[in-house]
Homo-oligomer: A and B are copies of this chain.
Amino acid sequence: MGERSISIHVIERLTTYLRYLKSLPDDGTASVSATKIAAALDLNQVLVRKDLAEISSGGKPRVGYQICSLIEDIETSLGYNDSSSAILVGVGNLGRALLSHKSFRETGVRIVLAFDCDEAEIGTDCCGVRIMATEKMADLCGRLKVHIGIIAVPDTAAQEVCDMLVGCGIKAIWNFAPTHLKVPDDVIVRNENLAASLLILSQQLRERLS
């Protein structure tokens, strides 16, 4: 795949295939077909076949893919082997939920440190990640070469935290606060708009019920 980017829909499907493939029993030689994957995940089999052909050359007619090689090919195409580090700011309920989120561990992005301003939390661990005082951020980020920052603080503190992250050299921000962040041009922001997501579901429901 090299530097070619793939769309969010493909990434979502690939992570879903991966989760399914890892749930299958595998003795190292077992194989699986696009048809079987499509049936198990309620997806269109033409779509699954196309996705897999894009990222793996291991498919054989009437046999399918070796499970273990297909897992490897999907992981490579998703950049799982290209591990990068992230820091998280705000160890409240959301921050703790993100630190304990099992499927992040599979993505190759590792949360290496968390920051909070609550004295009682500082110096403790959450899900194996050390919680540090926010004032230590600049020094630690410089030494760790971290480029991803996750904002899990209340919206009133989000811009201030964002400015701190940018000041520490963070180049990509995953923002869970419902706030529009101002950043320099060379910083990427991905907003996780959970309210919009819930609204879409309720709209679909309304259409279905009407």
Contact = CB atoms under 8 A, between A and B. Distances in A.
Contacts of A208: 171-172, 186, 188
Contact of A205 (B42, B172, B182, B193): B172
A108 B206 CA distance: 13
Interface string A192-204: 1111111111111
Interface in A42-88: 42, 78-79, 82, 84, 86
B180 A204 contact: no
Interface string A154-190: 1100000000000000011010001110100010101
Contact of A3 (B11, B96, B108, B207): B207
Nearest to A15: B196
Contacts of A112: none
B109 A198 contact: yes
A104 B198 contact: yes
Contacts of A108: 199, 202
Nearest to A182: B42
Q: Size band of the A side of the interface?
A: 35 or more
Nearest to A92: B97
Given A94-B97, A171-B208, A195 B79 contact: no
Given A3-B207, A103-B195, 12 more contacts: A3-B206, A8-B196, A41-B180, A78-B199, A92-B97, A93-B93, A107-B198, A109-B199, A147-B209, A172-B201, A186-B208, A192-B194
**What are the 8 closest A-B residue pairs judged by CB atoms, nearest first?**
A94-B97, A93-B97, A93-B96, A103-B195, A172-B205, A103-B178, A190-B201, A12-B196
Interface of A: 3, 5-6, 8, 11-12, 15-16, 19-20, 40-42, 78-79, 82, 84, 86, 92-94, 96-98, 100-104, 106-109, 147-148, 154-155, 171-172, 174, 178-180, 182, 186, 188, 190-210
7 contacts: A11-B196, A15-B195, A98-B194, A102-B178, A107-B199, A172-B201, A190-B201
